[in-house]
Amino acid sequence: MDFSHVKANLEEVNLRISHAARKAGRTVSDIRLAAVSKTFPPDAVLAAHAAGQRLFAENKVQELAEKSAVSPNDIEWHLIGHLQSNKAAKAVSICALVHSADSESLLARISRIASETGKVQRVLLEMNVSGEESKFGIGSEDGLFRILDASIQLKGVQVEGLMTMAPFAACESELRRIFSSLRILRDKAWEKTGVQLKELSMGMSGDFEIAIEEGASIVRIGSLIFGKRAAKPQTMP
Ligand SMILES: *Cc1c(COP(=O)(O)O)cnc(C)c1O
C-alpha cells in the first residue's frame, strides 16, 4: 500500500481541528489528535510519524503490541478499544493512556498489574451515552460515580477523564446532544468525586468538529488520515 497521501491528509485534519477550535473559542493546544492506525500496516504509522504525528491509537491489544514493537519509540500509544482482562498486562506495558476502561474489576486488575511494575496507568472511563445496546461502556451516572469512588483507592490507576463513541448514523443535533452530555456528566462527576477528569475523548472522522465545539480534548481520527479501512481487519505482514 502507498501512504504518500498521509502527510497531506494530516495537514488537512490539523487545519480543520484548529478551525473548529477557533470557532468554539478554544485554544488549539488543548486538543490532541490521536491518529487511529488500526488495520493499517506499520508503514502507515511511519508515514504519519515522518509528517510529525506522535500520538497513535489502536483498538486491539494484539495489533497494538505488534505495531508498536516495530515503530519509532518516541510514539505515544493509546488503546481505544474494549480491553479484556486477560490482555491487561500487555496493554499496561505499552499504553500511555487506556481510553476504554469500563468496570471496577478491570480497573482493579489494571491497578494491580501497573503497581507491580511501579507504573501508574492513566485511564479514561468509557461511557455509553447513546444507550446503544451494541456498545461497550458504563451505562449510568450512578455506575460512573461508583467506579470513580472506587478508583480513588487504587494506587496503580489514575482516571483522567471520560470517553465515548457516538452512533455512526446520528444526525448533527443528536451528536451535539451526546457530546455535550458527556461534558456535563464529566463536570458533575468531577465535582461529586473530586477525581480530576480533565480529558474528554470524543469525536472521530465524521464528527470531530462537533466534538471539539462541545469540549473534546482528544479526537480519535483514522480514515480521514489513512484512508478507508478494509471491511475485514487485515493480518499483519
Ligand atoms: C476506529 C475508531 C476510531 C476512528 O474512526 P474513523 O471513523 O476512522 O476516524 C475512533 N475511535 C474508536 C474507538 C475506534 O474504534
222 lines ligand 1 (CB under 6 A): yes
79 lines ligand 1 (CB under 6 A): no
115 lines ligand 1 (CB under 6 A): no
Residue 13 has pLDDT above 60, yes or no: yes
212 lines ligand 1 (CB under 6 A): no
Q: In percent, how much of the chain has pLDDT > 70?
A: 97
CA atoms of 219 and 207, how far apart (whole Å):
9
Best substitution site from 64, 80, 210 to test ligand 1's pocket, by max atoms within 8 Å of Cβ? Answer: 80
The three cell numbers locating residue 76 = 505515544
Neighbours of 111 (CB within 10 A): 23
Residue 233 has pLDDT above 80, yes or no: no
**Alpha carbon 77 to chain centroid, angstroms:** 10
C-alpha 204 – ligand 1 centre gap (Å): 6
Least confident of 104-113, 132-141, 176-185, 227-236: 227-236
Best substitution site from 63, 135, 204 to test ligand 1's pocket, by max atoms within 8 Å of Cβ? Answer: 204
